[in-house]
Amino acid sequence: MPETNAKSATSEATEPDYARLVTFLVEPFLELPESLKVDCEVSPSRGKVWVRVAFEGADKGRVFGRGGRNIQAIRSVLEAAARAAGYSAYLDVFGSSAQGGNDGEIDREDVIDKPPPRRSSGVKEPPKLRSRSSPPEV
């Protein structure tokens, strides 16, 4: 019976398909999955993987999720897969503020941070206070 060496089995394992992994994780959030574009660049000499994704701007909110939870989970899975193969991974979303530019789109964060418009409805009288023990005035 031939013995299987655990080290040789893991070293013979193929490198993860990062583009397919990210596609698998992002597509469920998209209304038009065919709009998803994924580009993957692997640098074995540096031990780094760069994955770039682009999709319709309308799907940005669903892909990022509340507080960025969805995109952070996708990044975590990608980083774990890369770490298992001895790489470090980076995920860039085209048009996101993390990339440094907004590519002509309005960033959601910019809209949320703006204060609401002030309304000038004139001076109002302060409400009259009454004690609970006295009967209401008519």
Are the CB atoms for 47 and 87 separated by under 8 Å? yes
Are the CB atoms for 40 and 51 separated by under 8 Å? yes
pLDDT in tens, 32-51: 999 999 999 999 999 999 99
pLDDT in tens, 68-116: 999 999 999 999 999 999 999 999 998 765 444 444 444 445 445 556 6
Q: Order the strands of the 88-93 sheet from edge to edge.
A: 37-43, 48-54, 88-93
CATH class of this structure's domain 16-98? alpha beta
Q: State the Cα–Cα distance between residues 103 and 1, nearest whole angstrom.
A: 61
